[in-house]
Amino acid sequence: MSYKRVTLSQFLMEGQHRYHGSGTFTSLLTDIRTTCKMISHEVNRGAMAGNLGVAGTENVQGEQQKKLDVLANEIFLHMTAQSGNYAAMASEELEDVHTVHGAHGRYLLLFDPLDGSSNIDINIAVGSIFSILRIPDGVTGTPEEVFLQPGVEQVAAGYAIYGSSTMLVLTTGHGVNGFTLDQNIGVFVLTHPNMRIPEDASEFAINTSRMRFWEPPVKRYIDECLAGTEGPRGKDFNMRWVAAMVAEVHRILCRGGVFMYPVDERNAKQGGKLRLMYEANPMSFIVEQAGGMAITGRDRILEVEPTALHQRVGVILGSKNEVERIRRYHEEHDAAGGKPLA
């Protein structure tokens, strides 16, 4: 075994010298690194620690909370409040902004503490997603409006995946790097430097049980994939659905493909299924930094102007040429007089 390994701390220190100087990023990400290790530990202990099953409560989205949703949320809030780097946080599991009294930092943390909750009880991959914003100069306090910045304003974003290995994947706007947790020494090690999404792919991920609610451009794209070598694409496609966005994005970063949770007839009233601030924006930042593309169907996700903290949005992301094709199908549909659902 080689000991010539780069740890996450060493990587952040090196980045500090190269780009940022002040050390702010190093401490912002140090809090999150510890948080993810603790959540990983709880996910791993599973039934032994009584961590499976429902909590018996509902979150602000009207969803049943699992025990691990609640626990992961508490770990995030507690561990990232200590250092005072974050003036306030917003979580998928909390109705309102959580202000950190006495914080000195001017950063905001947004997170989905446990993504893919329906996988917890069946021992399939889950994850955590986070996004970091800066409080604009001249702004005092941390009302909800300060959080309502488009995704292009993110200063860092990342996710942890608790899968066959625990990994932390992050961007500070200079590419995407992946670190694997060495469980024996409790350290994240750089294993996936400069992750890049192939521009072409022949693998898609979408919940096909919702096919009858899809918009025509989405149906057109999937129909063409399914037609394989006999269809207009002239090649066979493969399909995956893990039901955890973290795992889908991770697969796409490793070998390309497309992930879609589009606006459809069933979810159009609420704007889609996935949450803009906790899921779509951080993942779109990562995907773009790795050379991929992320759209709502018609627009670039990172340019969507948020109007509410818990806003939902259509998500189509992954290999550039496939996502561009899907965007074009939406454009052609609208040009022919088709009406967008949302």
- For Mn ion, the binding residues (CB under 5 A) are 92, 112, 114-115
* Nearer Cβ to Mn ion (139/308): 308
Provide DSSP, 76-90: HHHHHHTTS-EEEEE
Cβ burial of 81 (10 Å; 0-12, 13-18, 19+) is: buried
Inter-residue contact 200 to 321 (CB < 8 Å):
yes
Nearer to ligand AHG, 112 or 215 (CB): 112
C-alpha 318: how far from chain center: 12
207 binds, among Mn ion, ligand AHG, none (CB under 5 to 8 A by kind): ligand AHG
Say which entry of ligand AHG, Mn ion, none residue 59 contacts (CB below 5 to 8 A, set by partner kind).
none
Amino acid identity of 279?
E
Residue among 100 and 287 whose Cβ is closer to ligand AHG = 287
Q: Which does 72 bind (CB under 5 to 8 A by kind): Mn ion, ligand AHG, none?
A: none
Q: Which residues bind ligand AHG (CB under 6 A)?
A: 92, 112, 115-118, 207, 243-245, 261
* Beta carbon of residue 130, minimum distance to ligand AHG (angstroms, whole number): 13
Q: Which residue is nearest to Mn ion (CB)?
A: 115
Least CB distance to ligand AHG at residue 268 (A): 15
Dist. CA 81–CA 88, nearest whole Å: 8
Across-strand partners of 301? none
Least separation, in Å, of the C-beta of 116 and ligand AHG? 5
Cβ nearer to ligand AHG, comparing 135 with 301: 301
Nearer to ligand AHG, 112 or 203 (CB): 112
Minimal distance in Å, beta carbon 112 to Mn ion?
A: 4
282 vs 19: CA distance, rounded Å: 20
What percent of the residues of the chain are helix, what percent strand, and what percent coil, each to the nearest 5? 40, 25, 35
Residue 244: which of Mn ion, ligand AHG, none does it interact with, CB under 5 to 8 A by kind? ligand AHG
The residue number with the shortest CB distance to ligand AHG is: 245
**Which alpha helices (H) appear in the chain, and where do they start and end?**
8-15, 24-45, 67-81, 144-147, 216-226, 245-255, 281-289, 320-335
Residue 303 carries which side chain, given as an amino acid letter? E
Least separation in angstroms between residue 148's CB and ligand AHG is 20
Q: How far is the CB of 16 from ligand AHG (least distance, A)?
A: 31
> Distance between alpha carbon 30 and the CA centroid of its chain, in Å?
19
* d(C-alpha 189, C-alpha 202), whole Å: 30
CB nearer to ligand AHG: give 100 or 315: 315
Cβ neighbours of 47 (radius 10 Å): 10
Minimum gap (Å) between residue 84 Cβ and ligand AHG: 27
Nearer to ligand AHG, 117 or 166 (CB): 117
